[in-house]
Amino acid sequence: MKVGVLTSGGDSPGMNACIRAIVRVGIFHELEIVGIKGGLQGILDKKFQPFEARSVGNIIHRGGTILTTGRSKEYRTEAGQKKAARILKEEGFDALIAIGGNGTMRALEILGDLWDGQIIGLPGTIDNDVYGTDFSIGFDTAVNNAIEAVDKIRDTAQSFDRFFLIETMGRDRGEIALHVGICCGAEAIVIPETPTDLDAIADHIIAGRERGKTFAFIIVAEGDEEGDAMEISKKLSGRVRENCRVSVLGYIQRGGSPSRQDRILASKLGSYAIECLTAGKSGILVGEIDGEVAETEFADTYSKQKPLNETLLKLVDPLSI
């Protein structure tokens, strides 16, 4: 069996650990593993790299992806999708494993209608927005990166008695902001999934000042309906009668060595993806739910909304008094 492996969409810490698991477990099962560079565009450009066991040595600790990644405009067209299916067939591929987010899973579902090879998807995105897994590869590291940065900003906020708005990634999903806000003791957490009441937040900040709180900070997911951190700062400054400083964490959240949790998750899911192929399975995302490996149809991964942790949401207000 000839198996292609690629990473698609945004990079996330742990992708390399997952590639390593796929390659070594695949070779253990006497499969031929071929890396595809540059995401789905790599299929169209025939950027194929045969893997041996030693090809993935010394990468488990590295962030990013050795296969590189991207978003393919050509693949979004019907002609590009048919071309990808034709190339995979002509090159003798029997299966494909792709690591990425919900956009990648949608692309794999389309490919499955055009190509008769087996296809397995693995959740690799710091946004943790893929339905079918409790946590995606890279999320834990991104949260840890953001926590480290926020703790440092907090020192400055306390030293100068200042009010900060700290922006995390999350265009459509506030998972990073929610976890970071709880871990760092934010006064409020602003995320796309819940309505944002700026008047209530301002009243909360002012009340905290009156109780003796000398500094404050709010964690803002970039995709909130009230705008990004800079826009919200302009709206809040007048309400709280002080200048709200802004710090945008940006791509620092994506990089760095993957955490223990991401390395374990990536290794576990990569290994199970090979088991799925040897068992003849296809058209599924391999994730982890309640500590156990779980399989989800591609259509569900992007059409169903992954619920936020309501227990964490309820903690925000009482912990910030």
Active-site entry in 11, 127, 140, 224: 127
Beta bridge partners of 121: 98, 285
Does residue 238 contact residue 202 with C-beta atoms inside 8 Å?
Answer: no
3-state secondary structure of 48: strand
Are β-strands 284-289 and 292-297 bridged in parallel, bridged antiparallel, or unpaired?
Answer: antiparallel
Token pair, residue 148, equals: 């480290």
End-to-end CA distance of the chain: 59
127, 81, 138, 86: which is closest to 106 by C-alpha? 81
Q: Contact, 53 vs 27, CB < 8 A?
A: yes
Q: Which residues are bridge partners to 220 per DSSP?
A: 167, 190
Q: Distances in Å between the alpha carbon of 85 and those of 40, 43, 76, 96, 210?
A: 11, 9, 13, 11, 64
Token reading at 273: 């993806």
At 25, the amino acid letter reads V
Whole-angstrom distance, CA of residue 317 vs CA of residue 182: 10
Q: What does the alpha-carbon distance between residue 118 and residue 3 come to, in Å, rounded to a whole number?
A: 9
- Active-site residue flag, 127: yes
Edge-to-edge strand order for the sheet containing 118-123?
48-50, 32-36, 2-7, 95-100, 118-123, 284-289, 292-297
Calculate the dihedral angle through the C-alpha atoms of 304, 302, 250, 58, rounding to the nearest 10 degrees. Answer: 120
The count of other CB atoms within 10 Å of the CB of residue 200 is 11
Q: Which residues are catalytic?
A: 127
